[in-house]
């Protein structure tokens, strides 16, 4: 392989824009549409790598913001890069760090140079720039790295969105110029533009001119709502190059993933399986269940009948409820595992439906296609937003 | 197999009293001398059963006191007994609950009937009697269950020790009378008597008259010191029946285990591998290390060179240190795993040394034989005392 990323488009659905593909990196390949569990601080919280692999996950995501602040990207590099650090020999993607600054840090300034903020760990002032984001991501050594962008608040006026797009495009060029390991790591560009079609399309056009090996769609699932998100995807995704992977950042509920696959998106990540799992919230095809509920006290069924995950093969609902009430780590561990497997089984079924030319029917009839916002557990942990 | 426990004495060391054996239960067998990890509330904290099995553990222990209060032994029975509840298909031992009442609960009264205390969970008043301890342990369904005894404070005068022994013996008879599943579960008697040789020996003699399938030595490692403990073992263990297993409760450091094996003890349990692991404390043959120490920040070695555990095969010291500092569950999980494997590798080497007739030399020269009290981490978690 001469380039660090190869995307094979295996097939497209006849009645929708859904695509079946495979991405090959220097650390192995993953099938698309793909779901990436989130390993914020260098671990998928509570789940050892052998169990993550057993969920069918083929690529995981780590957060540049967190690792930059602690333990520091140089430390990760000295320990042999993120693959060794996380003990994940397969593909890894890192984000640019920008989104976490917006959501977690005390921001002092956004300007054309970057973001200046106070660390949520020690209060120190840090300026994150396109160049620094690239340096950090080069140190971490993920297979896919993300351009540093501005994810503008969707409630801001279109003039601000325009300014954020302009900044995102300038930063994209700076990222390309700063990227020191183009033979090892594939840098994806990020489309911004809020819910404005012309802004989105002009952003896409200019990013295509920069010839990234893959493209992400950012600034969605940040409060604009499902209809608006789907509308943006309906014109943004098809405008992206057919022969390159498309990644919808931070999404989402099963309903959202299925809707985005329909528009031609290939890659997803979301903290919901793990965060909800830590809060005793289990995804099932017939709707979510909250394992702290007393009705599960002597329930000898698995979390989800028919699920093949380690938790469902091994433990009863009653035991898992007890683990949560007793404050035992096994509660969060077991539901994180189940929820990741739930997502990966969904992706397997999505890919199979596309392969068999029946994705439209699948999306219309599968009960998981309606699992949405009501399914979100209360966020009790902001660490992996 | 006609009885629920069979003990095969495979060999005895020529120069010490060390014994090599095998215990067979209705849920499989374990080699002795054996170390049992502690699964207080129905889980070995943070470690999934497949990883516990991979440490070489063949039998685990669970605490009657905790499970009786939450979720309740009837709930465990409804869910299919402790093997199903904990997802541990192999041998399990439960204690009587008495020791945890002494160490965790607010005791209102000790009398000839039993212990009256306030639950540490909801403040309710509970009276634990020999009969109730048996009922609870019968519900839980462990392979080996323990008689309800009084573990007297070793600082109390000999008159009190005598009274506690008398009570322990009366309660032992009551336990035999109440034990409802003698064909499934093996009830062990417990020797008390503090550090008084005549009391210990008379207690042994009377327990032998009750013909238990195995015997535990209680009331040690409760503050009397290493020399006193070894002295008590030197006359108590050899007085027990040769063809039945001997269990030293709640012990201990590698040094203590090796010293007890020398006196002819076959079974051990201790929370140290897991509790210390949760506090970033790792056992190694060359002495303990504390993974929060900054010197491990960019240390790319495994926790212990030459260790074959999942943690050491998979993660660097630097990454594990980061997980502790970042509050990630993987820190406690990985060191619990390593420490359990450390103990099980010790037991493998102990058994091999006995089999090869060189236990005396092993005990004199192996560096682990000196790992003792200085190795204890600060207890930050009283849940599994």
CB atoms within 10 A of CB A10: 13
List, for residues B202-212, the tens digit of each pLDDT value.
999 999 999 99
The single residue listed with the structure tokens 């569950």 is: B329
Q: Do A318 and B41 touch (CB under 8 A)?
A: no
Residue A164 has pLDDT above 70, yes or no: yes
Report, as an integer, the average pLDDT of A16-34. 98
Whole-number pLDDT of residue B107: 83
List, for residues A276-314, the tens digit of each pLDDT value.
999 999 999 999 999 999 999 999 999 999 999 999 999
Q: Which residues of A touch B297 (CB under 8 A)?
A: 71, 75
Beta strands at B28-32 and B19-25: parallel, antiparallel or unpaired: antiparallel
Q: Do A322 and B71 touch (CB under 8 A)?
A: yes
- Show the CA angle centred on residue B252, arms to residues B250 and B253, nearest 5°: 170
List, for residues B149-195, the tens digit of each pLDDT value.
999 888 889 999 999 999 999 999 999 999 999 999 999 999 999 99
The CA distance from A49 to the nearest CA of chain B, in Å, is 9
Report, as an integer, the average pLDDT of A42-70. 98
Instruction: Using a pLDDT cut of 70, give the percent of chain B over it.
Output: 96
Name the band, by pLDDT with cuts 50, 70 and 90, for residue A162: very high
List, for residues B68-117, the tens digit of each pLDDT value.
999 999 999 999 999 999 999 999 999 999 998 888 878 889 999 999 99
Whole-number pLDDT of residue B251: 96
CB atoms within 10 A of CB B70: 15
Residue B308 has pLDDT above 90, yes or no: yes
Q: Which residues of A touch B42 (CB under 8 A)?
A: 319, 322-323, 326, 328
- Show the CA angle centred on residue B8, arms to residues B243 and B193, nearest 5°: 35
pLDDT, mean over chain B: 94
List, for residues B49-70, the tens digit of each pLDDT value.
999 999 999 999 999 999 999 9
Whole-number pLDDT of residue A155: 84
Whole-number pLDDT of residue A2: 56
First to last CA, chain B: 35
Element (H, E) at A352: helix A330-355
Residue B373 has pLDDT above 80, yes or no: no
Name the band, by pLDDT with cuts 50, 70 and 90, for residue A153: confident
Name the band, by pLDDT with cuts 50, 70 and 90, for residue A374: low
Whole-number pLDDT of residue A1: 43
Phi, psi (degrees; rounded to nearest 5) at A76: -60, -45
Q: Are A174 and A150 in contact (CB under 8 A)?
A: no
The CA distance from A85 to the nearest CA of chain B, in Å, is 6
Whole-number pLDDT of residue B2: 55
List, for residues B214-232, the tens digit of each pLDDT value.
999 999 999 899 999 999 9
Whole-number pLDDT of residue A3: 81
**DSSP letter for each residue of A156-188:** S-HHHHHHHHHHHHHHHHHHHHH-S-TTT-EEE
Whole-number pLDDT of residue B105: 79
Identify from B329, B336, B337, B338 which residue to disrupt to test chain A contact, counting A C-beta atoms within 10 A and taking the largest count.
B329
Report, as an integer, the average pLDDT of A348-361. 97
List, for residues A57-100, the tens digit of each pLDDT value.
999 999 999 999 999 999 999 999 999 999 999 999 999 999 98
Identify from A319, A327, A337 which residue to disrupt to test chain B contact, counting B C-beta atoms within 10 A and taking the largest count.
A319
DSSP state of A378: P
Largest CA distance in chain B: 60
For residue A343, give the nearest of A18, A8, A5, A34 by alpha carbon: A34
Q: Reduce the secondary structure of B347-374 to three states and give it as a string.
A: HHHHHHHHHCCCHHHHHHHCHHHHCCHH
Whole-number pLDDT of residue A373: 74
Name the band, by pLDDT with cuts 50, 70 and 90, for residue A104: confident
Whole-number pLDDT of residue A77: 98
Q: Do B314 and A49 touch (CB under 8 A)?
A: yes
From the list B42, B325, B383, the residue facing A319 with the nearest CB is B42
Rounded distance, CA B277 to CA B275, Å? 5
Beta strands at A125-128 and B92-94: parallel, antiparallel or unpaired: unpaired
Name the band, by pLDDT with cuts 50, 70 and 90, for residue A114: very high
In chain A, which residues touch B (CB < 8 A)?
Answer: 41-43, 45-46, 48-51, 66, 70-71, 75, 78-80, 84-87, 297-298, 300, 310, 314-316, 318-319, 321-323, 325-330, 332-334, 383
CB atoms within 10 A of CB A202: 16
Residue A108 has pLDDT above 90, yes or no: no
Chain centroid offset of residue A336 CA: 16
């Amino acid at each position: 392989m001469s380039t660090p990323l190869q995307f094979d488009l295996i097939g497209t659905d006849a009645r929708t824009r859904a695509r079946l593909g495979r991405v090959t990196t220097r650390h192995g390949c993953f099938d698309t549409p793909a779901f990436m569990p989130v390993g914020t601080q260098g671990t998928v919280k509570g789940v050892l790598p052998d169990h993550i692999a057993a969920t069918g996950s083929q690529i995981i995501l780590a957060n540049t913001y967190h690792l930059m602040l602690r333990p520091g990207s140089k430390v990760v590099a000295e320990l042999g890069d993120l693959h060794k650090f996380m003990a994940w020999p397969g593909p890894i993607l890192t984000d640019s760090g920008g989104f976490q600054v917006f959501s977690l840090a005390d921001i002092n300034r956004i300007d054309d140079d970057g973001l200046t903020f106070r660390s949520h760990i020690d209060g120190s002032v840090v300026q994150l720039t396109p160049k620094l984001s690239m340096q950090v991501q080069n140190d971490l050594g993920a297979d896919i790295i993300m351009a540093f962008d501005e994810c503008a608040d969707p409630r801001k006026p279109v003039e601000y969105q325009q300014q954020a797009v302009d900044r995102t495009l300038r930063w994209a060029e700076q990222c390309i110029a700063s990227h020191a390991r183009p033979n090892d790591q594939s840098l994806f560009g990020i489309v911004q533009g809020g819910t404005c079609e012309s802004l989105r399309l002009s952003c896409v056009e200019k990013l295509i001119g920069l010839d990234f090996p893959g493209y992400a769609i950012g600034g969605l699932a940040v409060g604009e709502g499902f209809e608006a998100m789907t509308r943006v995807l309906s014109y943004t995704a098809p405008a992206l190059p057919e022969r390159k992977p498309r990644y919808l950042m931070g999404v989402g509920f099963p309903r959202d993933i299925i809707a985005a696959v329909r528009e031609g998106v290939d890659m997803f990540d979301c903290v919901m399986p793990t965060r909800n799992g830590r809060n005793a919230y289990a995804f099932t095809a017939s709707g979510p269940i909250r394992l702290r509920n007393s009705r599960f006290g002597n329930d000898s069924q698995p979390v989800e009948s028919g699920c093949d995950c380690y938790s469902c093969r091994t433990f009863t609902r009653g035991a898992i409820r007890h683990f949560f009430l007793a404050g035992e780590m096994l509660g969060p561990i077991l539901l994180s595992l189940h929820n990741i497997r739930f997502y990966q089984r969904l992706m397997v079924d999505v890919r199979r439906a596309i392969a068999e030319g029946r994705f439209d029917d699948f999306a219309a009839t599968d009960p998981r296609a309606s699992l949405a916002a009501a399914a979100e557990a209360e966020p009790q942990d902001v660490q992996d937003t």
